[in-house]
Amino acid sequence: MEAASTKRSQQAESDDLTIAYVGGGSREWFPKLAQDLALSDVDGTMRLYDHYPESAERNAKFGNWVQNRDEVTADWTYEAIEDEDEALDGADVVILSTQFDPLETFVPDLDITKDHGIYHAVGATIGPGGIFRAMRTIPDYRRIAARVRENCPDAWVFNFTNPVHFVTRALYDEYPDINAVGLCHEVIHAREHLAELAREEFGMPDAEMSDISVNVKGINHFTWVDEAYCDGTDLWPDLEEFAQNEQANRTFTSEDLEDVSPFNDEWQVSWELFRRFGVLPFAGDRHIVEYATSFLQNGKEGLNRWGVKRTGSDFRAKHWDPSESEQTTDVTAWMDGEEEFELEASNEAFLNILEGLNGGERFVTNVNMPNRGQMEGVEHGTVVETNAVVSAGEIKPLSAGGFPRPVRSLVQRHVDTIETVVEASRDGDVDEAFEGFLIDPQVQTLQTEEAEELFTDLVNAERDYLADWDLEGARVLDYS
């Protein structure tokens, strides 16, 4: 059975595409996208809009620079646009990828929360940091949804901005007929890991990520699978056996992780949850622990025991500067010849989706879309992550079934937080947002009075980014 689909009323199958990129000054994702498009079978124009115009101009220059490479197979033109409505006007596709200055947002999210005894692993998509990132971001995305409704109502809108589940849900809450899809590469990375296991442990030496198919279900960064195949071969018996061996039952110390990247993934949390519940988590452990929160107990020692290293505020502070961060790309160094450039495709699914929508080969991938029956046991309308079939002008989520009761409970409690905060954003109701904050499992490790202090401290640190919320009228902040 297939769930209801999202389909454009008109889809160009041969004409050049017009893409509007909101957040077009992206330091990490745009350089990959420009290379993917250059090596694609799709031609078009991309309009780059960003709150920082100089960043959009830099990326437009880079995109056009890439087009001069000998290996290019597609014809793309990039232009920086300083007016958002002009960028969106008549667009076929809209890409959303934005972020606030981490020094003023990520850093207090992590440090203030830690001061109150909550040891965030990432702090970007759930928990106190994730909720405040949502509160900062949702009002802007409501405005974007309204501008899409006015300027390009039939466009496909692809959201890469975290927290993906909050943000994509807010787009639909503002404009119910929007064709919005949240995308994330966590499931792709997990499929790569299964292919590696198939090669090294399961006797399939030629296995590749493209051979791996899984039944995905959950919410973004808290996805699970209950079926896994490699080129048609059922991997489940192998996975059950592997979960009992020494490699899937390791422990770590803080010293073991001292020189390890916070992006390193040992999968020990995933194997533990697989042993306990019979379904396999399918996102990085650094994200999983923020949803299955028992792994966050006992601070650094408790987290490191599972091979997970906290992404600290010092790491986040460097994110804004390409010269200091492994998370960002310095395209200027490529264009100036300071670093060697090699045109190569990424493993992101977006290009396959774009080609499929534009009349190319049908494609199956994981997407975040409103639940219209594709996932059982979770309320309709909330944004869930499942597989979907992409074909000309259509993205159709596939029925994924439900969960064992304990896993459904773990998922649903986060859905309740997400829905509460999104509903609160309609009127900027801070007290209602605090209710969503208060039921978050990480926050529930605090007494209610301290949870209120934490919430107030975060508001005070980030007031400039919360202008759309009724801070002065909030009872919880008690500014009288």
**CA dist 379 → 172, 299, 434 (Å):** 15, 33, 22
For this structure, is 185 an active site residue?
yes
Give the alpha-carbon dihedral of 328, 331, 333, 335, to 10 degrees.
170
CA distance 229 to 195: 10
If you write DSSP's letter for every residue of 125-179 in order, what string do you get?
SSHHHHHHHHHHHHHHHHHHHHHHHHH-TT-EEEE-PSSHHHHHHHHHHH-TT-E
Is the link from the previous residue into 163 a cis peptide, with omega within 30 of 0?
A: yes
Catalytic residue among 120, 185, 287, 319: 185
Q: Which residues contact 253 (CB under 8 A, 6 or more apart)?
A: 304, 305
CA distance 132 to 150: 28
Of 16, 12, 13, which Cα lies nearest the Cα of 74? Answer: 16
Cβ atoms of residues 125 and 111 within 8 Å: no
Amino acid identity of 197? L
Q: Which residues contact 13 (CB under 8 A, 6 or more apart)?
A: 358, 359, 392, 393
Cβ atoms of residues 36 and 350 within 8 Å: yes
Kindly report the backbone phi and psi dihedral angles of residue 47, in degrees, each rounded to the nearest multiple of 5, phi listed first: -100, 125
Helix or strand or coil: residue 269?
helix
**Strand ranges for 329-450 from DSSP E:** 363-370, 383-391, 394-397
DSSP lists the bridge partners of residue 234 as 229
DSSP percent split of the chain into helix, strand, coil, nearest 5:
40, 15, 45
CA distance 300 to 249: 19
**CA dist 310 → 21, 117, 124, 255 (Å):** 31, 14, 12, 13
If you write DSSP's letter for every residue of 404-431 in order, what string do you get?
-HHHHHHHHHHHHHHHHHHHHHTTT-HH
Cβ atoms of residues 20 and 47 within 8 Å: yes
H/E element holding 93? strand 93-96
> Which of the residues are catalytic?
185
